[in-house]
Amino acid sequence: MRPLARPTGRWTVLAVICAAVLVVVVDVTVLHVAAPAMTEELQPSAVQLLWIIDVYPLVVAPLLVASGALGDRIGRERVLFAGLVVFGAASALAAFAWSPLVLIGARAIMGVGGALILPATMSIIRDVFEDRDERRTAVGIWSATMAGGAAVGPLIGGFLVEHWWWGAVFLINVPIVLIVLPIAVKLLPESRAADPPPWDMGGVVLAGAGVLGLAFGFQEGARNGFVDPLVIGVIVAALASLTTFVRQQLARPEPLLDVRLFYDRAVAVAVGCVLLSMFGLVGLELFFAQYLQLVLGLEPLAASVRLLPLMIASLAGGLVAAPILRRAGTRTTIAGGLLLSTVALVPMLALGVEDRYLLLALPFVALGLGLEVALVAANDVIISAVPADRAGNAASIEETAYELGGGLGVAVLGSMLAAVYSNALHPVPGVGAAGMTAAGESLGRAVDVAATLPAAVGSALMVEAKDAFVTGLHLVLLASIALLATSALLSAFALRSRSSAERAGRAAAADARG
């Protein structure tokens, strides 16, 4: 393997990698802002709308293990290039989708591209930055780029939806890809394992089927009940597939994925914290975008501006995480960040149908800052647990936790919100049974129904629908608070031995300097 990068060139490599990450991140948040306009034109059902949101992470998650192993084998930069091409082409298709099913298909293909991009970026960082302190800074910048892209995404999306049409939020990916791809081809160094394990197609299928089955099973269970025979069968089959995969990998001298990484308690805890945190938070981003537009009546661009404190604080969290981590240690950084995020959600339980800006802005700052600091620390634990040769293993585990947690969060919490909303929506005089049934599907459908009714009746329906949505949002907030609090406690208790070891290491380093 030829040298990866000259010492003076690694930060240039990081800049190119961050530009590639922007392609994926911007798309995720612009869709949240565009969802109401997209719903108005394509008229998806409540289930189809969740699939439009969910299909991307549900495709990404089962492919990450294969993508990480493929990058170790044929070259991470090549996998990254392929991912950019696939993502750009699928974005063009999504922009001009003429039905919900076409948009779901395009989003699925985008998921394939995202699965190729994400592990490759983190693997190259692990490969290029050999010094632990420098790598922490690089991971913080990478994470801040993701947060920054999320911050820019809603603003771009809000502007495009107001001045063009919802499809423009996907079309914006195409010029980004056209700019980033040739630069990446020219500047990214070769990066692969010197002695990669043999390709294990059976392992790829088992891991992919297990992760997809688990995600799909929990998603459908949240919607249709976990006693549904199909749901039970899918989850049992997924667990059997993952169990078989783990046993096979443990028996192989050169496994496709080194599952022994989870023997390290710090790695296991870090992965669990990432999964639970993303489960609790990703859905909230979507629901708050709907709350701002459909409950408070803000235009897409104005709603995007209201989300900025969350995104900018996340950006700042990524930049300050490395120095905090060096001073406070892994345990304090992860547990403290998660605890701050938990506390930040509590005031939001007072939200109602009236516009109370401070109840969103100040908690958003604490939420974004705390969560991002904790996630950067967790990322550092995971990616530093392997040598550079096996960076694809750690990157795929990390990204699987991100995507699976986020996908399950949207599915499960979204289904909880939808169920509470439907049950809390009381009959409105003057609205027929068919109209109430349609309005009960989602707040977006209630807006459509209200538009067909006399003004007084439509206004009464919207009052009921907004109250029902806020009731569901409160339940989702409580669930997210519980998940984040669990993550904070888990990290505080399980990482005690690591904290002691870090203190001893810092003391030894200080003695050596003295």
Query: Based on the number of CB atoms within 10 Å of its own CB, is 240 exposed (0-12), middle (13-18) or buried (19 or more)?
Result: middle
pLDDT in the model for residue 276? 77
The pLDDT value recorded for residue 7 is: 41
> How confident is residue 160, by pLDDT bands cut at 50, 70 and 90?
confident
pLDDT at residue 84 is higher than 50 = yes
CA distance 178 to 194: 31
Predicted local confidence at residue 43, as pLDDT: 76
Q: At what angle do helices 358-383 and 265-290 cross, to 10 degrees?
A: 150
Quote the pTM value.
Answer: 0.73
State the Cα–Cα distance between residues 307 and 287, nearest whole angstrom.
11
For 256-310, the pLDDT digits (tens) are: 777 777 777 778 888 888 887 777 676 677 688 778 888 888 876 777 778 778 7
Check whether 508 has a pLDDT greater than 70: no
Q: Is the pLDDT of residue 2 over 50?
A: no
| pLDDT number for residue 154 | 65
Pick the residue with more confidence: 33 or 478? 478
Question: Any idea which residue has 């809000």 for tokens?
Answer: 158
**Confidence class of residue 5 from pLDDT cuts 50, 70 and 90?**
very low
At 390 the pLDDT is 64
Statement: residue 502 has pLDDT above 60: no
Angle of helix 10-42 relative to helix 173-187, nearest 10 degrees? 160
Compute how many other C-beta atoms are within 10 angstroms of the C-beta atom of residue 478.
Answer: 14
Q: What percentage of the chain's residues is helix, strand, coil (to nearest 5)?
A: 85, 0, 15
Integer Cα distance of 414 and 302 in angstroms: 23
Q: How far apart are CA 418 and CA 441, in angstroms?
A: 7
Tokens (6 digits) for 304: 């995007």
Better-scored residue on pLDDT, 252 or 367 = 367
Average pLDDT, the chain: 78
Alpha-carbon span 96 to 167, nearest angstrom? 6
For 104-127, the pLDDT digits (tens) are 888 889 888 888 887 788 778 877
Q: How many other C-beta atoms are found inside a 10 Å radius of the C-beta of residue 36?
A: 20
* The pLDDT value given to residue 86: 92
Alpha helices in 75-131 (DSSP H): 76-95, 100-128
User: How confident is the model over 402-452, as pLDDT tens digits?
Assistant: 777 776 777 778 778 888 888 888 888 888 888 888 888 888 788 888 888
How confident is the model over 328-343, as pLDDT tens digits?
A: 888 888 889 999 989 9
Where is 30: in which H helix or E strand?
helix 10-42
Percent of the chain clearing pLDDT 90 (strictly above): 2
In the numeric block, the tokens 């919900």 are attached to: 100
